[in-house]
Chains A and B, each alone.
Chain A
Amino acid sequence: MSASLASGSGGALEKAAADLERIRELKSRIAGMERTRLETRSIATLPAFSSLLPGGALQAGCAYSVGGSMTLLMGLLSGASQAGAWCGVVGVPEFGAEAATRFGIDLSRLVLVPRPGRSWLAVTAALADALTVVVTRPFERVGDADAAKLAARLRQRGAVLISFEPELLLAAPPTAWPGAQARLTVTESRWSGIGRGHGYPRERLVTVRADVASGRPRIVQLRLPGDYLGGTAPQAAPLLRLERVS
């Protein structure tokens, strides 16, 4: 009796497991159908972001959003720039060019439009026609229609848009770019090397959270700037040593 019960319950369990498997499969098929693009081309991205971004890298024709961290933004640009792509930054006058070179961004292929004023969307669209990665800072709320128009342009050109908010405004709910594949923010940051009245901010451990369009948020800890340079150690190491000389 007990044995038959056990076998019966075992059968129910197996059935439940099979159902679960089937549900998972269906879910992934639905997710696959719901994706904005079927076949996507990846843009070179630093390995530090591989577990944060859907598909493991920036996908051509997609939009992303970065909040509150210029370092994250530079990290996203870095891989593409090192692979020879042109990058553009619209509406971010605070972009630190020297720090960008330390992350491996090539200044000769970096174009800045620090103060586009009210025509920021037109400038972004114009740059998206020619550059591979375009960073823009929305000065006002983007309408769904504008975002869709820009998204069509991005898909056609195979460009990547990164919407950047320099600060996370806690008062207002953070407004991600409509249709962004992922939104990257720094949730925690711990500095080492600096104490109360001594030391120097030498390195930090950041927790990066990526809210992706479908699925659970992904959370990764990065050691900065070490993890950016890790993948490209041969080129990055001399850069660091050069700086220490002066």
Chain B
Amino acid sequence: MSALTRSIVLWCPDWPVRAALRKYPSIAAADPIALIEKGLVFACSAAARAAGVRRGLRVREAQARCPELVVLPHDPAADARFFEPLLAAIEQTVPGVQPIRPGMCALRARGPARYYGGEREAARTLLGVLAEHGVDDARAGVADGPFAAEQAARHPSPEPVVIVAEGESPAFLAELPVDVMGDAAFTALCRRLGLATLGALAGFGEAELVERFGETGLRVFALVTGRDAATVVPRAPQRALERSVAFDDGLDRVDQIAFAVRQTADDVIAALAAAKLVATAVTVTIETDASTGLSTGDGGERPRTWLHPRWFTAVDLVDRVRWQLQGVGPGTGALTAPVTRVTIAPESVDAAHHHEQGLWGGAPDERVHHALSRVQSMLGHDAVVTAALGGGRMLEDRQVLVPWGDREPEGTAARAAQPWPGALPDPLPATVFLPHVAVALLADDGEPVAVSERGFVEGEPALFAAAPGARPIGSAAEARRLARPITAWAGPWTVDERWWDAAGASRVHRFSVVDADGTAWLLIHDGEGWAAEARYD
């Protein structure tokens, strides 16, 4: 059996709450806070715990126990993001950190203990690093193996550093309740069997535990007897792949900035190439003069993440910066203040050899991509789109246009799969007007046909007028001049959507009309006038 790894585990209690406080600076640390995941409390602050809130409670139960509870959604990505600087700071002090989960990391104890003259001194130094970064209640545990060290760090003791002497781990673990195993089904079973502590479990032999629990038993026996074979596997240090360029005087012309970031874009791609990586998503952050510092929210800093159907080249990066400056797409605005800094950070990277060209050139799709990218750099990112089917009753809701290279909005496919009573049956009109085109439907006497509040047609439709070139009809006189007889009509079909929501409600009556040429139109009457939604041509 391999020797045990003497380990240090650093633990920041209530890390998700701490991360949430950094994410929402307006919330005070002393407030009772609960983070919710799937309707249950995932983590809570000390004040909330004092009021009786516990992990695993339902939200309602927690609010009943503590009416002033601040309820926030749990964001695992934020947990990891805010823990990253701490890991980097620890790595600066002692190399070889293994992140266990956000808020907890493990190190080998041997090196730092010799360097700082003892395990306690090493642990205190590391806690000092964490305190410098704003975590003043962190705790450290030193023991044989990461599991025992984690339990030592969690051990309730007035001293922030708990050291379990070498070889003492089994005795230390024997006192602990079985719940520290963290496996809910297994601990519940142990409790039903009357085994309350790890010591009681360890009292059985290895053979008995394996016979009763199988592989789980083997793992549990290794842990509870302090023979944890796990070692500390340090993570690879992160390479800094992001690059930025600062403009001292601030540039306010798009072409100037696009020219200036060219070198930066080359640097980003060169750094990626040196690491044998390619970027498939990058975040471009543009800081303007209006910002007073690095704080977000004052509008001075505009990050946006761009995806790429294949991978980014330097030219693509310059294009993305240009589009973002020109205010294309969501999350961007037109250039209003001089730009002081542009940062390009690769967001997701992939090994370059996954993307190498074949010996005889690439697939035909590659040519398609190049052509479309060329059109995008001519007209802008969202000028080239692919269509996806969405869900809805009106035709414009049922097609979703996605810029080439972007993902379709989340839930589009799920909405398309839902039944939409009131949607059009086959055959569908091939021409869909976006926006709708104003037309006129007239009775025999030249008066517009009206539809009452309750959906009754007032007047028999006899004449139909649509201006050529999908131009809206402006006046009643123009309508009468263009009017031509219709051969068939049917309707109304009322589409009454979101009636419970005053802002989003829409109530329209649909009609089908066949004009003298034999072209069928899908018309809607919205209570005021007639418009063409689509044409069967």
Binding site for B on A (CB under 8 A): 68-71, 73-74, 86, 93-102, 107-108, 110-117, 119, 122-123, 126-127, 129-131, 166-167, 169, 171, 186, 188-191, 194-204, 206, 224-225, 240, 243-246
User: How many residues of B are counted as interface, with CB atoms below 8 angstroms from the partner's CB atoms?
Assistant: 53
* A111 B427 Cβ-Cβ under 8 A: no
* A110 B387 Cβ-Cβ under 8 A: yes
When distances are taken between beta carbons in the complex, the residues of chain A under 8 Å from B423 are 246
When distances are taken between beta carbons in the complex, the residues of chain A under 8 Å from B398 are 98
* B537 A99 Cβ-Cβ under 8 A: no
Give CA–CA (A198, B520) in the complex, Å. Answer: 14
* B488 A96 Cβ-Cβ under 8 A: no
Give CA–CA (A190, B517) in the complex, Å. Answer: 9
- Other-chain residue from A130, A171, A240 in contact with B371 (beta carbon distance below 8 A): A130
27 A–B pairs (Cβ distance < 8 Å), ordered by A:
A69-B537, A70-B537, A94-B432, A95-B387, A96-B429, A96-B534, A98-B389, A98-B398, A98-B399, A100-B430, A102-B426, A102-B427, A111-B386, A112-B385, A126-B371, A130-B367, A167-B468, A189-B517, A194-B488, A194-B514, A200-B425, A200-B512, A201-B512, A204-B520, A225-B426, A243-B426, A246-B420
Give CA–CA (A131, B386) in the complex, Å. Answer: 14
* B428 A99 Cβ-Cβ under 8 A: yes
* B386 A112 Cβ-Cβ under 8 A: yes
Give CA–CA (A203, B425) in the complex, Å. Answer: 12
What are the 8 tightest A-B residue pairs by CB atom distance, in nearest-first order? Answer: A189-B518, A130-B371, A97-B387, A70-B430, A97-B399, A99-B428, A96-B432, A246-B419
A107-B388 contact given A127-B375, A196-B488, CB 8 Å threshold: yes
B401: CB under 8 A from chain A?
yes
A113-B384 contact given A99-B429, A129-B371, A200-B425, CB 8 Å threshold: yes
With A70-B431, A95-B387, A206-B518 given, name 7 new contacts (CB 8 A): A68-B537, A96-B428, A96-B432, A129-B367, A195-B490, A196-B488, A245-B419
Give CA–CA (A2, B75) in the complex, Å. Answer: 109
Give CA–CA (A205, B358) in the complex, Å. Answer: 50
User: Shortest distance in angstroms between A50's beta carbon and chain B's nearest beta carbon?
Assistant: 21
* A123 B378 Cβ-Cβ under 8 A: yes
* A199 B388 Cβ-Cβ under 8 A: no
Chain B binding surface, main DSSP class: mixed
Give CA–CA (A224, B372) in the complex, Å. Answer: 33
* A99 B375 Cβ-Cβ under 8 A: no
User: Shortest distance in angstroms between B466's beta carbon and chain A's nearest beta carbon?
Assistant: 10
Most A CB atoms within 10 A — which of B386, B395, B431, B512?
A: B431
- Other-chain residue from A98, A186, A190, A202 in contact with B395 (beta carbon distance below 8 A): A98
- Other-chain residue from B425, B427, B433, B468 in contact with A94 (beta carbon distance below 8 A): B433
* B432 A244 Cβ-Cβ under 8 A: no
A113-B386 contact given A130-B370, A194-B512, A240-B426, CB 8 Å threshold: no
When distances are taken between beta carbons in the complex, the residues of chain B under 8 Å from A74 are 430
Most B CB atoms within 10 A — which of A129, A188, A189, A245?
A: A189
When distances are taken between beta carbons in the complex, the residues of chain B under 8 Å from A190 are 518
Report the nearest B residue to A116, measured CB to CB. B379
* B469 A167 Cβ-Cβ under 8 A: yes
* B375 A126 Cβ-Cβ under 8 A: yes
Give CA–CA (A117, B519) in the complex, Å. Answer: 28
Report the nearest A residue to B367, measured CB to CB. A130
* B434 A198 Cβ-Cβ under 8 A: no
Most A CB atoms within 10 A — which of B375, B419, B514?
A: B375
* A131 B371 Cβ-Cβ under 8 A: yes
Give CA–CA (A130, B365) in the complex, Å. Answer: 8
B323: CB under 8 A from chain A?
no
* A112 B470 Cβ-Cβ under 8 A: no
A123-B395 contact given A94-B432, A112-B385, A112-B387, CB 8 Å threshold: no
- Other-chain residue from B368, B420, B428, B457 in contact with A86 (beta carbon distance below 8 A): B368
Give CA–CA (A130, B375) in the complex, Å. Answer: 12
B464: CB under 8 A from chain A?
no
Binding site for A on B (CB under 8 A): 367-368, 370-372, 374-375, 378-379, 383-389, 395, 398-399, 401, 404, 419-421, 423, 425-434, 457, 460, 468-470, 488-490, 512, 514, 517-520, 534-537
When distances are taken between beta carbons in the complex, the residues of chain A under 8 Å from B383 are 113-116
Report the nearest B residue to A127, measured CB to CB. B371
* B378 A196 Cβ-Cβ under 8 A: no
Give CA–CA (A240, B425) in the complex, Å. Answer: 9
Give CA–CA (A117, B433) in the complex, Å. Answer: 18
- Other-chain residue from A108, A119, A198, A200 in contact with B378 (beta carbon distance below 8 A): A119
Report the nearest B residue to A115, measured CB to CB. B383
User: Shortest distance in angstroms between B426's beta carbon and chain A's nearest beta carbon?
Assistant: 5
* B490 A97 Cβ-Cβ under 8 A: no
When distances are taken between beta carbons in the complex, the residues of chain B under 8 Å from A123 are 375, 378-379
When distances are taken between beta carbons in the complex, the residues of chain B under 8 Å from A246 are 419-421, 423
* A130 B368 Cβ-Cβ under 8 A: yes
Give CA–CA (A198, B491) in the complex, Å. Answer: 7
Give CA–CA (A245, B514) in the complex, Å. Answer: 26
* A113 B379 Cβ-Cβ under 8 A: yes
* B399 A93 Cβ-Cβ under 8 A: no
Give CA–CA (A246, B378) in the complex, Å. Answer: 41
When distances are taken between beta carbons in the complex, the residues of chain A under 8 Å from B388 are 97, 107
Report the nearest B residue to A244, measured CB to CB. B425
Give CA–CA (A203, B470) in the complex, Å. Answer: 24
* A195 B488 Cβ-Cβ under 8 A: yes
When distances are taken between beta carbons in the complex, the residues of chain A under 8 Å from B460 are 196-197
* B518 A191 Cβ-Cβ under 8 A: yes
User: Shortest distance in angstroms between A83's beta carbon and chain B's nearest beta carbon?
Assistant: 13
* B490 A169 Cβ-Cβ under 8 A: no
* A96 B375 Cβ-Cβ under 8 A: no
User: Shortest distance in angstroms between A134's beta carbon and chain B's nearest beta carbon?
Assistant: 10
When distances are taken between beta carbons in the complex, the residues of chain B under 8 Å from A110 are 386-387
- Other-chain residue from B384, B470, B518, B537 in contact with A71 (beta carbon distance below 8 A): B537
User: Shortest distance in angstroms between A228's beta carbon and chain B's nearest beta carbon?
Assistant: 10
Give CA–CA (A186, B374) in the complex, Å. Answer: 35
* B520 A166 Cβ-Cβ under 8 A: no
When distances are taken between beta carbons in the complex, the residues of chain B under 8 Å from A94 are 431-434, 470, 535
* B426 A244 Cβ-Cβ under 8 A: yes
* B514 A166 Cβ-Cβ under 8 A: no
Give CA–CA (A98, B388) in the complex, Å. Answer: 8
Give CA–CA (A204, B518) in the complex, Å. Answer: 9
